């Protein structure tokens, strides 16, 4: 009898973990993407999921008309094909709301490499080192 309850509790715990670690975060991302696509407005610069860069000219129910390239060729694409917004149009831009539970990601540090010394700089470096050695 105890083994049956243990197995039942174990199954419930696994289902709960799968929900918390996989399903819930995916729903949150889907909701953010849907809000981004529904919030498109004229003047936004976008990138499609196929990698096409364009500027929104007209927003319809399920489609968006974008201008592409230097000739400003017009293309009508589905809203679901919009991958991201590169630059939002001036005006009432939505402010992203940070979740209180999420912590800020640590900033990445750039790797700094020293510059190579040219012959002129090598002479100056040698002159600076020489007086320091003479003082000893």
Do 22 and 61 share a domain, yes or no? no
Instruction: Say whether both 13 and 46 belong to one domain.
Output: no
Domain of residue 64 covers 41-89
- CATH code of the domain covering residue 84: 2.30.30.100
Q: Is the pTM of this model over 0.75?
A: no
Does residue 104 or residue 50 have the better pLDDT? 50
Residue 35 inside a domain? The answer is yes
105 domain-assigned: no
pLDDT tens readout for residues 25-37: 999 999 999 999 9
pLDDT of amino acid 129: 61
28/52 same-domain check = no
One domain, residues 45 and 32: no
Overall domain count for the chain: 2
Assess whether 51 and 84 both reside in one domain. yes
In a domain, 129, yes or no: no
The answer to whether residue 118 is domain-embedded is: no
Q: Is residue 116 part of a domain?
A: no
Structure confidence by residue, pLDDT tens digits, 51-82: 999 999 999 999 999 999 989 999 999 999 99
Residue 117 domain-assigned (yes or no): no
Residue 100 lies in a domain: no
Copy the structure tokens of residue 31. Answer: 């909701």
In 3D space, the residue among 85, 102, 75 whose CA is nearest the CA of residue 33 turns out to be 85
């Amino acid at each position: 009898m105890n083994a049956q309850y243990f197995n039942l509790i174990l199954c419930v715990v696994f289902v709960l973990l799968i929900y918390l670690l996989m399903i819930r975060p995916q729903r949150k991302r889907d909701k953010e993407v849907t809000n981004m696509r529904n919030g498109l407005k004229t003047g936004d610069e976008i990138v499609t999921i196929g990698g096409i860069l364009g500027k929104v000219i007209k927003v319809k129910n399920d489609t968006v008309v974008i201008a592409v390239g230097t000739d400003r060729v017009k293309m009508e694409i589905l809203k679901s094909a919009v991958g991201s917004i590169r630059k939002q149009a001036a005006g009432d831009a939505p402010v992203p709301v940070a979740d209180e539970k999420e912590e800020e990601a640590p900033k990445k540090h750039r790797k700094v490499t020293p510059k190579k010394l040219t012959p002129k700089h090598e002479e100056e470096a040698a002159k600076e080192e020489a007086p320091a050695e003479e003082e000893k």
